[in-house]
Amino acid sequence: MWGGMMAAISLKVNGRVHTVDVDPETPLLYVLSDELQLRGPKFGCGLAQCGACTVLLQGQAVRSCVMPVSAVKQKEVTTLEGLGTPEKPDAIQQAFIEEGAAQCGFCLSGVILTAKALLDEHPKASGEQIRDALSNVLCRCFAHTRMMRAIQRYQRGRA
């Protein structure tokens, strides 16, 4: 059966509560990028295969392109721009800045937030655990070497 009925939905994003009037089935990504005009999460595949739309949901990395906005409920959403600011970047963003770990940068929500979610929960994660967490995160410019260096830099800084 076709939904499509609009509903007022409240969600907490980057520390602020927003109310949007959308079909509850709308993917969280579209609410973040169209209704709230956030730039961090991006449409890469719409299939949860690449990671470009990644956000943190109570600290867990999730793919916002396949999550209906109604499923967010009271959980706090953090996007890449909510992690830190250009003036005061988060430590993992700072590590990526210092390593110059990007080319086009379209993939960064997936790379940075997936790594952050893992390392904040498991600061001593092994190389294998890090690789496992990033096993379905893509970067098609293949800035892999710098990104792995940046992730290691962040991990060292946390220790």
Partner 1 sequence: MKREISRREFVKSSGALVVSFSAASFLEPFGMAQGPFDTHRSHVDPEKLDSWLAIASDGTVTAYTGKCDLGQGMFTAQTQLVAEELCVSIDKVKLIQCDTSVTPDQGTTSGSQSTPTNFNMENLAQAAATAREALVGMAAQKLGVPADQFTIENGVVKAKSGRRVSYGELIGDKHFDLRVSSTAKRRSPSDWKVLGKPVPSRDRVALMTGTFEFVHNVHVPGMMHGRVVRPPEIGATVASVDEKSVQHVPGLIKVVARNNFVGVVAEKQWQAEQAARELKVAWKPGPRLPAQKEFYDYMRKQPSRDVMLVDSHDVTEKLKSASRVLKATYLHPYQAHGSMGSSCAVADVQGQHATVWSATQSVYPTQHGISALTGLPLDSVRVIFVRGSGCYGLNAADTVSYDASLLSQAVHKPVRVQLTRHDEFVSENYGSACVIEQQAGFDTNGNIGVWECETWSVSYGDRPGYEKSGNVITGTLAGFAPDTITPRAAAEPAGELRNGSNAVPSYMAGCVDGKCGGTGSIRSERVLTHAVPSPFFTGPLRSPLRLQNTFAHECFMDEISAQIKADPVAYRLRHLRETRMIDVVQAAAKAASWEARPSPKPGTARTGTVTGRGIACVAYEGDNGYAALVAEVEVDQASGRVRPRRFIAAVDCGPISNPDGLRNQIEGGVLQGTSRALGEEITWDDRKVTSIDWQSYNTLPLGIEVPVIESVLINRPEAEATGAGETAITLAAAAIGNAIFDATGARIREVPFTPDRVKAALSARGGETLAAVWNNPNVDRALSGERPDCSPTRT
List, in order, residues 6 or more apart from 81 with CB less than 8 Å away.
Answer: 14, 38, 39, 40
Among positions 30, 64, 116, 155, the unique one binding partner 1 when judged by CB under 8 A:
30
Q: Per-residue contact track with partner 1, 112 to 141, x per CB under 8 A?
A: x-----------------xxxxxxxxxxxx
CA-closest candidate to residue 38, choices 47, 28, 24, 51: 28
Minimum distance between the CB of residue 94 and partner 1, rounded to whole angstroms? 8
Among positions 9, 11, 13, 26, the unique one binding partner 1 when judged by CB under 8 A:
26
Name the token pair of 42: 């991006």
Phi-psi region of 105 (alpha: psi -120 to 50; beta: other; left: phi over 0): left
Length reported for the chain: 159
- Binding window for partner 1 (CB under 8 A); candidates: 56-64, 79-87, 118-126: 79-87
Among positions 9, 11, 42, 61, the unique one binding partner 1 when judged by CB under 8 A:
42
Q: Looking only at residues 45 through 64 of this chain, which bind partner 1 when binding is defined by CB under 8 A?
A: 45-47, 49-50, 52
Whether the CA torsion 64, 48, 41, 22 is positive or negative: it is: negative
Q: Looking only at residues 86 through 115 of this chain, which bind partner 1 when binding is defined by CB under 8 A?
A: 86, 89, 93, 96-97, 100, 102-109, 111-112
CA distance 1 to 8: 21
**Measuring CA to CA, how many Å separate 131 from each of 25, 49, 52, 135, 151?**
32, 16, 17, 6, 11
- Binding window for partner 1 (CB under 8 A); candidates: 40-48, 56-64, 116-124: 40-48
Question: Can you give the binding site for partner 1, defined by CB under 8 A?
Answer: 2, 4-6, 22-23, 25-27, 30, 33-34, 37-40, 42-47, 49-50, 52, 79-86, 89, 93, 96-97, 100, 102-109, 111-112, 130-148
